[in-house]
Amino acid sequence: MQPVTATFRFYEELNDFLARPLRRRAFSCVCARAATAKHMIEALGVPHTEVELILVNGESVGFDRVLEDGDRVAVYPKFETLDVTPLLRVRAEPLRAIRFVADAHLGGLANLLRLAGFDTLYDNHFADEAIEALASAEGRIVLTRDRELLKRRTITHGCYVRALKPEVQLRELFDRLDLARSAHPFRLCLSCNVPLRRIDKSDVIGRVPEGVLERQAQFVTCDVCRRIFWEGSHWKRMRTLVDSVVRSSRTAHALDP
């Protein structure tokens, strides 16, 4: 059998996943017989969850497109300024809600996402198999710095997190996923990832320091861990951070043509 050779070109940040000699240029690659676009894209190092659009010979195709000899394959990440919805073929439908599951290395980011109001599962003992199962069963977006995890077949939505520091990671996700419009800060317990509810001041007597009781008028509680929360100095610091991230993300997306 004659080998199948296709020409590939990856765009923008997808080049970060490629071997250096292949970045930002067209290159030929020998493909296995009956290899699909998904198989070859991931064989070259790019997780399928990072791909938004595939054009083969100028036509939008899905991951299951079997490549043929002479095909020219252009692979694009998420478009920030262009609406390419009519062209998309790589995913059947969007997720109904924005919910995340973070891998063991992203605990700081998970807490900040909860702070911003996003349902985010995290456990530093989660195995890759558990993350894959949760993502599939609950329609969650996988957050990881492990590109091999994102290549798992049943993971349809995921983000490879490039930044190293949690606050920078949060800004990265807000910008990439346009999260500002969906943020509802301070509605979830940072420990339990469940909604907080208001509690009468009279019900926290004896459960918070007397000075706090004198200074604060409003309190919320978590029905799982039973902790009480109020707008203290830590809350104000976190409020400043979240407001800054939301504001800068909204400004950036408002400037998109």
Residues of the chain with pLDDT > 90, as a percent, come to 70
**Phi and psi for 118 in degrees, rounded to 5?**
-100, 125
What are the two backbone dihedrals, phi and then psi, of residue 115, each rounded to the nearest 5 degrees?
-60, -35
| Per-residue tokens: 180 | 């500002």
pLDDT in tens, 92-129: 666 668 899 999 999 999 999 999 999 999 999 999 99
Tens-digit pLDDT profile for residues 210-243: 999 999 999 999 999 999 999 888 788 888 888 8
Give the pTM: 0.81
Whole-number pLDDT of residue 234: 79
DSSP-derived secondary structure letter, 131:
H
d(C-alpha 218, C-alpha 223), whole Å: 17
* Mean local confidence (pLDDT), 64-85: 81
* All domains in the chain, ordered by first residue: 4-87 (3.10.20.30), 93-257 (no CATH)
In contact, 143 and 158? CB cutoff 8 Å: yes
How confident is the prediction for the chain on average, in pLDDT? 89
List, in sequence order, every residue forming a beta bridge with 220; answer none if it has no partner: 198, 229
Q: At 228, is the secondary structure helix, strand, or coil?
A: strand
Decide if 140 contacts 117 (C-beta within 8 A): no
Stretch 189-194: mean pLDDT: 94
Residue 242 has what pLDDT?
A: 83
Largest CA distance in the chain: 82
Instruction: Indicate the burial class of 92 (C-beta count within 10 angstroms; 0-12, 13-18, 19 or more).
Output: exposed
- Higher-confidence residue of 18 and 86: namely 18
Beta strands, E only, 139-194: 141-144, 158-160
Provide the pLDDT for residue 181: 82
- Closest residue by Cα to residue 11 from 87, 85, 78, 81: 78
